[in-house]
Amino acid sequence: MATDVPPPEGGIDTRPAQPPTEKFVEVQASEEFAELRRTHRRFAFPLTVAFIAWYLLYVLLSNYAGGFMGHKLFGNINVALVFGLAQFLTTFLIAWFYSRYAAAKLDPRSEAIKSRMEADA
């Protein structure tokens, strides 16, 4: 085992074996790992761009469309407040959506890669 930490009391080491560095490099170069990265990027990049565009729209409207953002919808609630609260809502929705996506698409693939690496070590 490639570690300097001694096993726990009793002498039985129950930690997973650590693969050598060469195995990490081999997995990183594999098609399976490349597909995992592509799957992540296909989800994360477009969603990130969309959220940044949504945030910049809010900032630009706040700076340059004061009349529109100050328009009262009901009571003391104006468009700016609704847009600001929608920023929080979309942040939580994106986090929830990503966790579901990762659990369904990314975690099983990464767990399979990890299990094979630990089994080979």
Domain chopping of the chain, boundaries: 21-120
Q: How confident is the model at residue 116 (pLDDT cuts 50, 70, 90)?
A: confident
**Closest by Cα among 97, 88, 99 to 55:** 88
Counted residue by residue, the chain has a size of 121
Tell me whether residue 10 is exposed, middle or buried, using C-beta atoms within 10 angstroms of its C-beta: 0 to 12, 13 to 18, 19 or more: exposed
Contact residues for 43 (Cβ-Cβ < 8 A; gap 6+): 98, 101, 105
> What pLDDT does 1 receive?
46
> What pLDDT does 61 receive?
95
Q: Which residues are 78's β-sheet partners?
A: 72
Q: How confident is the model at residue 120 (pLDDT cuts 50, 70, 90)?
A: confident
Rounded to two decimals, what is the model's pTM?
0.72
Residue listed under structure tokens 């630990």 = 118
Distance of CA 28 to the CA centre of its chain: 19
Q: pLDDT digit string (tens) for 78-91?
A: 999 999 999 999 99
Q: pLDDT digit string (tens) for 12-52?
A: 767 666 777 888 888 889 899 999 999 999 999 999 999 99
Contact residues for 100 (Cβ-Cβ < 8 A; gap 6+): none
